Amino acid sequence: MTATVLTEGVSAPVDAAPVTKADRIDSLDILRGIAVFGILLMNISAFGLIWQAYGNPMAAGGSTGLNLRLFEIMNVGFEGTMRGIFSMLFGAGIVLMTERMEKAGAGLATAEIHFRRMSWLLLAGIIHWTLLLWTGEILFAYALCGFFLFALRKIPARWQFAIGIAALLIAAGLSNMRYHGTLELSHKAAAAQAIVDGGGTPDEEQAEALEGWQEASSFAIPTEETTAMFTGWHSGSYLDAVTGQLSFSYQFQWVEAPFWLVFDMMPFMLIGMALLKSDVLTAGRSTRFYAALMGAGYAIGIPLGLYELGLLQAGEYGPLASAEAGRTYQFSRLAMVFGHLGLVLCVIRLGLCRWLMRGFAAAGQMALTNYIAQTLICTLLFYGFGFGLYNMFERYQLYLIVLAIAVVEMVWSVLWLRHFRFGPLEWVWRTLTYWRWQPMARKPVSLDPAATGAAQYQ
């Protein structure tokens, strides 16, 4: 696409095109690569085990020994944090792309390209949760957020940060209300159950309370009905899987979307915009700053996470325990995100683990391809029309699968980007976004040192 800019009465074409390698920010690619593997680390239990195993170690995958310890580490250290970092980077990406185009003089074409980009991402997300069978996918929700956040990209960083924090505070308030509602429901359901156990018949209100409690419990604790439903998806044909999971995915992706969009994803996207403008995500601050960020984040996040884990354990991971732990979830999650950011950016600033950072950067540059590839791999492994390994592994074994996938994707990303400018799906997305065929192969690298500027982890 070509935009026209008027300068002193002379019109000149401005070429709107994807960001070049020279313009990429290594720290963002590294963080994106870490986040895309971290998301799989959290989601693998929902791929390979019954859905409730994500938040309940007693549901499946082993509830003792190493399996339990690993669940606890993931719950305290990584629950919601990788999604939080990924959301921050998505918000930062909106600012980077639109500012780059506006500085080039693209004008109104900036909005056209942004909204076209989000529209294609929206379609990819719909395909991902319908035809590719990943109920927990995030592209659909991210695209919806992207439509709205375009209007907020230019407000000052302090306001973006403040709005993001305010939204998380509101989310915490809503979670507190949810806890008290769940507590009241549990009392009503217990009274109704006592009537049933005594041979009586509860009235309509009591029956509704009992039914509501049973439904709430089924989200955390497997029942015969939910177990049969999830097993049915994974044991039949591809068509059975698509039709079987559709209503569940629709509920998760659309009916519950308002809360996720407004109080989970967009706050972190706005904070990501602010951190980019403040030179935090670019590794532009001092090593001391990132060390302090890491220390403060972990000092708050780990104790809060342990407190929440204790509530879950005391309540046997039931709905009331989950609602009670949810009251501080946004605070522990945000603190842990800052802790992780500080740690990774310290490593980048100090130039440590360069070979590993190079792998993360390559995987992050191809994050869309790697994210969808993870779904395809897991679908092949765990569905009946593939290898049919659903519910066959312990939790620690699933984490080993994640490690294997991460190694393979990092290696292939590094090798692929030696020859091509984009990952395969990134190339498709950019071609559709700019409505013009994008050159895929890399041009030969100039041997003139004055013409080359190698990035730190290139």
pLDDT tens, residue by residue, 349-401? 999 999 999 999 999 999 999 999 999 999 999 999 999 999 999 999 999 99
Is 50 exceeded by the pLDDT of residue 125? yes
pLDDT class of 202 with cuts at 50, 70, 90:
confident
Please state the domain extents for the chain: 2-451
Lowest mean pLDDT among 213-222, 289-298, 359-368: 213-222
pLDDT reported for residue 37: 97
Q: What is the pLDDT of residues 49-101, one digit of tens each?
A: 999 999 999 999 999 999 999 999 999 999 999 999 999 999 999 999 999 99
Sign of CA pseudo-dihedral 403, 404, 407, 413? negative
Block residue for tokens 């590294």? 30
Nearest to 80 by CA among 30, 41, 116, 113: 41
pLDDT reported for residue 164: 97
pLDDT reported for residue 200: 87
Q: Quote the pTM value.
A: 0.89
CA distance linking residue 19 with residue 95, whole number of Å: 13
What does the pLDDT average to over 306-330? 96
- Kindly report the average pLDDT of the chain as a whole number: 90
For residue 307, give both structure tokens.
């407190």
CA distance linking residue 408 with residue 416, whole number of Å: 12
pLDDT reported for residue 260: 82
Q: What is the pLDDT of residues 9-34, one digit of tens each?
A: 333 334 455 555 445 689 999 999 99
CB-hemisphere CA count at 13 Å for 434?
A: 21
87: Cβ contacts below 8 Å, ≥ 6 apart = 142, 264, 265, 266, 268, 269, 272
- In this prediction, what percent of the chain has a pLDDT beyond 90? 81
Beta-bridged to residue 11, according to DSSP, are 6
Is 60 exceeded by the pLDDT of residue 417? yes
Identify the burial level of 394 via C-beta atoms within 10 angstroms of its C-beta, where 0-12 means exposed, 13-18 middle and 19 or more buried.
Answer: middle
Is 60 exceeded by the pLDDT of residue 2? no
CB-hemisphere CA count at 13 Å for 268?
A: 27
Angle between helices 354-365 and 367-382 (to 10 degrees): 90
pLDDT reported for residue 129: 94
pLDDT reported for residue 228: 93
pLDDT reported for residue 449: 39
Nearest to 39 by CA among 102, 90, 87, 82: 82
Is 70 exceeded by the pLDDT of residue 251? yes
Q: Kindly write down the DSSP assignment for every residue of 368-403, as one continuous string.
A: HHHHHHHHHHHHHHHSTTTT--TT-S-HHHHHHHHH
Q: Are 417 and 458 in contact (CB under 8 A)?
A: no
For residue 129, give both structure tokens.
């949760």
372: Cβ contacts below 8 Å, ≥ 6 apart = 124, 128, 132, 425
Q: How many Å separate Cα 426 from the centre of its chain?
A: 18
Is 70 exceeded by the pLDDT of residue 4? no
Is 90 exceeded by the pLDDT of residue 298? yes
Q: Kindly write down the DSSP assignment for every residue of 218-255, as one continuous string.
A: HTTS--HHHHHHHHHHHHS-HHHHHHHHHHHHHIIIII
Residue 291, SS3 per DSSP: helix
155: Cβ contacts below 8 Å, ≥ 6 apart = none
pLDDT reported for residue 240: 93
Q: Are 57 and 71 in contact (CB under 8 A)?
A: yes
Q: CA-based angle 130:128:118, to the nearest 5?
A: 120
Lowest mean pLDDT among 74-78, 221-225, 226-230, 438-442: 438-442
**Percent helix, percent strand, percent coil in the chain, to nearest 5:** 75, 5, 25
What does the pLDDT average to over 414-435? 95
pLDDT reported for residue 18: 54
pLDDT class of 104 with cuts at 50, 70, 90:
confident
433: Cβ contacts below 8 Å, ≥ 6 apart = 113, 116, 117, 120
